[in-house]
Structure 1
Amino acid sequence: MKTSARSVVLGGVAVLSWSTVATAFKVALRNMTVFEMLIVACATALLIFTLWIFATGSWRELRSLTPTLWGRFAVLGLVAPVAYYFVLFTAYDYLPAQMAQPINYLWPIVLAVLLAVFAHRPIPRSKYLGMFVSLLGVALISLGGSAINGSVSVFGIVLAFGSAFLWALYWILNDGLKDKVSEGTSLFLTFLFGMVYLLIGTLFSPLQPMSTEALLSGAYIGAFEMGVPFICFGLAIRHTDNPALINQMCYLAPFLSLFFISIVLGERIVPTTYGGLCLIVGGLVYNQYFAGRKTAKSLN
């Protein structure tokens, strides 16, 4: 298989995996608490990343890590997986999947705002249009929530926004680490610290016996939200000669996700969800692929 074709296949595996997890979140929450779900998922992902670093030999990098790097990974593990996924899973506990999933996709906008505030990277004026369009999509989805289950949880919407904030914060804190360790080692250490925090949490919230169905649903999330797709997507980007194509494939995930939400969960996908999701993704695509060109042309 050619390198570019292999990258597309790997990217497709990642996208298909991420397309199923919104449904998996809701299924798992029927059988377990958010905390239980988080522990089982993180333990599964950590097992996958452990196998990965030993299979690739990148575990040797652990010997040369400085105390500063260990400290950075300790912070990363607290932000994600712990805080990010706890907030995200709780948002799904309060909202229909078709509402929580699109709002979480706003993280690139939050990232741009955080970089502007804390890293003094001003947002180009041409990108304000895309940001407005995406936020308009969120408003449309939120207004349509009453047509799904008769009411909208404002707390759930705040949590979904909070998950986008935490994911953007994770990428800021992760900036620069890829030049110091491999991606597999980075994921392993992040989830290792995350698992340590979660195990400490069991001292205050002891785990109860879980059914086989609950364990399997939590393990599925760990494998196909946190584990396999991150590895596949990283490999796809690393070995492709067209990274833009691989990144664009990610925008298929939320639309495919609506199919699984409808079929498996039985949620009636209302028109405002389709319209809002198109606005969110459209605004993000505009900012990533068109706003930058517009700014560059204006400087010439």
Structure 2
Amino acid sequence: MSEKNQPRAMLLAGLAVFLWSTVATAFKLSLALLTPLQLLAWASLFSMLFLMAVVSWQKQWGALFTFFREQPAYAVLLGVINPAVYYLVLFRAYDLLPAQQAQTINYTWALTLSLLAVPFLKQSLRPRDMIALAGGYFGALIIATRGNLLALDFDSIEGVLLAMLSTLFWAMYWILNTRATAPATASLLACFMVGTPLVWALMVWQGELHLPEPKALAGAVYVGLFEMGVTFMLWLGAMRSAVHVSRVSNLIFLSPFLSLVFIRYFLNEPIAPATFIGLAMIICAVIYQQRGGSDETPEAAAEAQNQR
């Protein structure tokens, strides 16, 4: 068990938040050179290789193989969802939408979690949950329409629907992941060992198997490491080192706002006022819901919030 050290926890969490804040920009830059399927295939490969190194260092291969032996269907299901389906849907949404819209709409996954807790965990929706859901999704609608609510003028209705669908898969993954018996890193590697070959097989089937140019490959490496790999380890380390977990976990709310800075200056994408308004509504809705203090809050909510 790691020694508690709050300054270390804040440093690790700050690094994780900073890196996560860059990935929306990295998605768009990489998708200018790769298709969503190609980006996912290469990024998941590099992430899997990184996680293999970590599992070797932590001597968790035994736990990983035990997970496959005791919960094979479960491991396959988790791997199909993440990385295969979730990131394919998310990257397609980024391909169709401005980065500011895709990343802020995707942030509503924390609210989607409470909806999925009803059928998956047999939870009931509290009045607080209903208010948060209404406020959060209204914020998403403001972002998607750039504030033009009456006209319902979307940049891409398909992109908006895919961005919303991605929140469903991400929330589903974290609810199901709470039942995995393997340690966190081993469980994540198991998912990539299932999902990555599936994505590569699909890429071959679609005729998209090509060696990317160095710039595109560098983008895939960045996405694979800093969206799917290194940041996971940094955040996990922060949670284990934290004396006051809430102070660390609250740093995650800085990520979408910092991300807008990178989007503005690296993608030259003007940030619409509606994006700030909608994002503020989503953040307030998430905070309002999570500060409810109810015992009915799903276990997955705490763990999933600690991963994103």
* Fold conserved between structures, TM > 0.5: yes
Deviations 1:26-78 (A, max 9, x none): 00011111111001110111011011011111123234336342321111110
Aligned partners of 2:210, 2:65: CA distance in 1, in Å?
37
Deviates most, 71-80 or 90-99: 71-80
Q: Size of the alignment, in residue pairs?
A: 291
Match of 2:83 in 1: 81
* C-alpha displacement of 1:86: 0.2
Deviations 1:258-298 (A, max 9, x none): 00000000000011101110000110011101x336999xx
Aligned partners of 2:21, 2:258: CA distance in 1, in Å?
6
Contact 2:4 2:240 (C-alpha < 8 Å) held by counterparts: no
Contact 1:99 1:145 (C-alpha < 8 Å) held by counterparts: no
Q: Does 1:183 align with 2:222?
A: no
Equivalent runs, 1:174-253 vs 2, <5 Å: 174-177=177-180, 180-206=181-207, 207-253=209-255
Deviates most, 95-104 or 68-77: 68-77
Match of 2:156 in 1: 153
- Higher normalized helix content (fraction of residues): 1
Change (3 A) 1:138 1:202: closer
Partner residue of 1:93 out of 95, 106, 110: 95
Aligned partners of 1:181, 1:117: CA distance in 2, in Å?
24
- Extract unaligned runs of 5+ from structure 2: 298-308
Aligned partners of 1:130, 1:13: CA distance in 2, in Å?
29
Amino acid at match of 1:169: M
Match of 1:130 in 2: 132
Partner residue of 1:279 out of 278, 281, 294: 281
Change (3 A) 1:145 1:35: farther
Q: Give me the identity figure in percent.
A: 33
Contact 1:145 1:151 (C-alpha < 8 Å) held by counterparts: no
Deviations 1:149-197 (A, max 9, x none): x9510110000000000001101211122xx221111111111111121
**TM-score (structure 1 length as normaliser):** 0.92
Match of 2:302 in 1: none
Change (3 A) 1:33 1:292: same
**1:176 alignment partner, SS class:** coil
Amino acid at match of 2:11: V
Misfit runs of 4+, over 2 Å: 62-68, 291-296
Aligned partners of 1:66, 1:216: CA distance in 2, in Å?
32
Aligned partners of 1:237, 1:52: CA distance in 2, in Å?
17
Contact 2:104 2:279 (C-alpha < 8 Å) held by counterparts: yes
When the two chains are superposed, the root-mean-square deviation of aligned CA atoms in Å is: 2.1
Match of 2:59 in 1: 57
* C-alpha displacement of 1:129: 1.6
Contact 1:21 1:225 (C-alpha < 8 Å) held by counterparts: yes
- Extract unaligned runs of 5+ from structure 1: none
Contact 2:100 2:275 (C-alpha < 8 Å) held by counterparts: yes
Deviates most, 64-73 or 165-174: 64-73
Match of 2:27 in 1: 25
Q: Does 1:121 align with 2:123?
A: yes
Deviates most, 214-223 or 121-130: 121-130
Aligned partners of 1:257, 1:202: CA distance in 2, in Å?
29
Match of 1:170 in 2: 173
Contact 2:145 2:154 (C-alpha < 8 Å) held by counterparts: no
Change (3 A) 1:295 1:184: closer
Contact 2:67 2:75 (C-alpha < 8 Å) held by counterparts: no
Aligned partners of 1:271, 1:219: CA distance in 2, in Å?
33
Amino acid at match of 1:26: K
